[in-house]
Amino acid sequence: MSNPFLNLNYETAIESLGSDYFDEVTAADFPLHILRFRNDQLLPILGLDPKQVTDEDFTTAFGKFHCVRPFLALCYHGYQFNEYNPYLGDGRGFLYGQVRGIDGKLYDFGTKGSGRTPYSRTADGRLTLKGGVREVLAAEALHRLGVRTSRCLSMVETGDSLWRGDEPSPTRSSVMVRFSQSHIRFGTFERLYFLRRNDLIKKLLDHVIQYYYPELHFQTGRMPVPESEQYALFYAELVKRVAELVAQWMAAGFCHGVLNTDNMSITGESFDYGPYGFIPTYKPQFTAAYFDYSGLYSYGNQPFICHLNLERLQQPLAAVIDKKEMDAALAKFGEYYNASYQQLMLNRLGFDRLPDSEAEELLQLTIKLLSETQVGYHDFFLELRKQFSQDWREDSSLIFKDVEPAEIIAPWRQLYHHLLQTLSPADMEEIRLRLRRYNPEQSLLRIIIEEVWESIATDDNWQPFYELVNRIQDPN
């Protein structure tokens, strides 16, 4: 086989767990296979040269679904809007395969929109083309903003006409392949607890530690850690990863939209983007999902929800891990979150390190400024990047000189000027470079996505989409 995707060295990590965790499925036969997106940035991680991979290679593997291993629809349950749902599982996707990257990490190829499975219920197992476009854009934008996220490897238009209540129908269809560390979810463990299979919980936890937390096997100095201690260390590390992840969302101004436990990855990675949204202005009550009537998964509620989901995960994990040890680990969530959020916001403001008191004051004044002026969240950081000047160190009146009202900007301007006064020209240049790194020029507000989609839906014009992806991926 000359197709490089079919020649990869696929591993049997999930498959080796046995059929208690998945069902073997087949992919749908689609009437059309048009490659609409290929993520050449990911190919080197797989040891592939993008120049040696053709569009036909993508569509053969990830549209027509030629394969070298069985496709696995993973089993899970989950809390959805505070209600436990035991009727979940991969209903429109499956695990295509698992591959070791050149960095030594194991990665999943997971499909979305690839057809019906035993968990589809009354759904058609398909993904709308607009849904695929939105997930490609979300993943690339979050990656550029430094969020630990899954990314899309490919998206193929598949030629089916779909009927959806939230899109003008009939609408076009697609299938995409998600590239991520793992598709094991909090809900994967919750299902096993529901089935009263403590033995399978321990087996899955051993698997997760082996493949995704191998560092827990050894202490500093490479001394082996007893197996009984590894479990509590795992939960403590997961708490830290999730706290840092939600801090990344908050600093990026991102609202996931549907933080059910089946959308929470056991590796602390962000994935599964549906009705997400980037906040236009700083409003904690901003809600991305039109069906989230109570605002449960609002932007400002995300730290609380992630903490709650970690607490819910304790129920199945208690079959293996002592509850007091998990409580002690979860108690540090706020500490991890606050430290990470503060650092990320400092970076967006141009600083690497500040004394704690000054860092806290700058963060408070920034949030106050964003909240009271309702200036665009992305626009504020972009203008800071564009307007920043060496002259700001000498003359405070030059700092955001056109921002009104003066009584709101004045305290922020005064503090920012104070922080710059002790810096050398070289330090000022470091701030300028940091502002460029952490504040990309391209935002991904809903209106921008809709403009791109309108070109596709009306004229089948994909050029605005590709131009937007290129701007998002631009490291400058």
Compute the average pLDDT of residues 155-160.
98
Predicted TM-score (pTM) of the model is 0.96
Q: Residue 216: how many CB atoms within 10 A of its CB?
A: 19
Taken in order 425, 427, 433, 439, the sign of the CA dihedral is negative
pLDDT at 403: 79
Q: What is the pLDDT of residues 10-57, one digit of tens each?
A: 999 999 999 999 999 999 999 999 999 999 999 999 999 999 999 999
When pLDDT is cut at 50, 70 and 90, the band that residue 295 belongs to is very high
DSSP 319-345: TTS-HHHHHHHHTTHHHHHHHHHHHHH
Average pLDDT along the chain: 96
Partner residues linked to 157 by β-bridges: 34, 174
Compute the average pLDDT of residues 306-310.
98
pLDDT at 323: 97
Q: What is the pLDDT of residues 136-147, one digit of tens each?
A: 999 999 999 999
**Helices and strands in the chain: count of H runs, count of E runs:** 14, 13
474 is catalytic: no
Instruction: From the candidates 57, 262, 272, 292, give the one annotated as an active-site residue.
Output: 262
The whole-angstrom separation of Cα 185 and Cα 18 is 17
pLDDT at 56: 98
Q: What is the pLDDT of residues 209-255, one digit of tens each?
A: 999 999 998 766 567 888 889 999 999 999 999 999 999 999 999 99
pLDDT at 218: 77
DSSP 363-391: HHHHHHHHHHH--BHHHHHHHHHHH--GG
DSSP single-letter state for residue 392: G
Q: What is the pLDDT of residues 359-376, one digit of tens each?
A: 999 999 999 999 999 999
pLDDT at 21: 98
Task: Spell out the residues 6+ positions from residue 145 whose beta carbon is closer than 8 angstroms to its own.
Answer: 248, 251, 252, 254, 438, 440
* Lowest-pLDDT choice from 52-56, 175-179, 228-232, 317-321: 228-232
pLDDT at 220: 61
Measured N-to-C along each axis, helices 377-387 and 356-373 cross at an angle, to the nearest 10 degrees, of 120
Higher pLDDT, 476 or 292: 292
Q: What is the pLDDT of residues 363-418, one digit of tens each?
A: 999 999 999 999 999 999 999 999 999 999 999 999 998 877 788 899 999 999 99
The whole-angstrom separation of Cα 181 and Cα 245 is 14
* Lowest-pLDDT choice from 70-74, 382-386, 471-475: 471-475
pLDDT at 47: 97
Residue 337 clears pLDDT 80, i.e. is over it: yes
Residue 7 clears pLDDT 70, i.e. is over it: yes
What percent of the chain stands above pLDDT 90?
Answer: 94
Higher pLDDT, 1 or 244: 244
Taken in order 287, 289, 290, 293, the sign of the CA dihedral is negative
pLDDT at 221: 59
The whole-angstrom separation of Cα 27 and Cα 401 is 58
pLDDT at 179: 98
Q: Are 78 and 186 in contact (CB under 8 A)?
A: yes
